[in-house]
Amino acid sequence: MEMSHEITGCQVDQELKVSYRCGVSELSNEFSAVVSPLSEMGEDDGLEPYITEHYWGYSSPTQNKTVEYEVKHPKWPINKVTEYSIDFDFECLYGTPYGFLSKISPASVLYCEGSDITVHLGSTISP
């Protein structure tokens, strides 16, 4: 899959415009947003930190095996999005079960710059 992103502006003193594009043979799917300067959200118990503050990951390399691994990163600042656009064919990229996502509006839109992370060697979880 082809992917690209673009970030314009300066988060300190002006609007930040961000976009992410992807597609199988062309970059035909796009998420874009405008982020206000100095719009950091301070809530510690809302939906936003629940989405961004994950420190454990899980994968299933086989049907009967689950691996748990630790992910370390600093707390990421979360910023409000003032405008957004979603032009994305979820069904084309991910299959029929995800087609409905192209027809609904998101419950929340946020911007989080993120950081480098450290992923620690996982261990198998017993059933």
User: CB burial class (10 A; 0-12, 13-18, 19+) of residue 111?
Assistant: buried
User: What predicted TM-score, i.e. pTM, was given to this entire model?
Assistant: 0.73
Domain boundaries along the sequence of the chain: 2-125
d(CA 84, CA 4): 17
pLDDT digits (tens, 9 = 90+) for 26-41: 889 999 999 987 666 6
d(CA 127, CA 93): 32
pLDDT digits (tens, 9 = 90+) for 73-92: 988 888 889 999 999 999 99
Q: Residue 70's beta-bridge partner residues?
A: 56
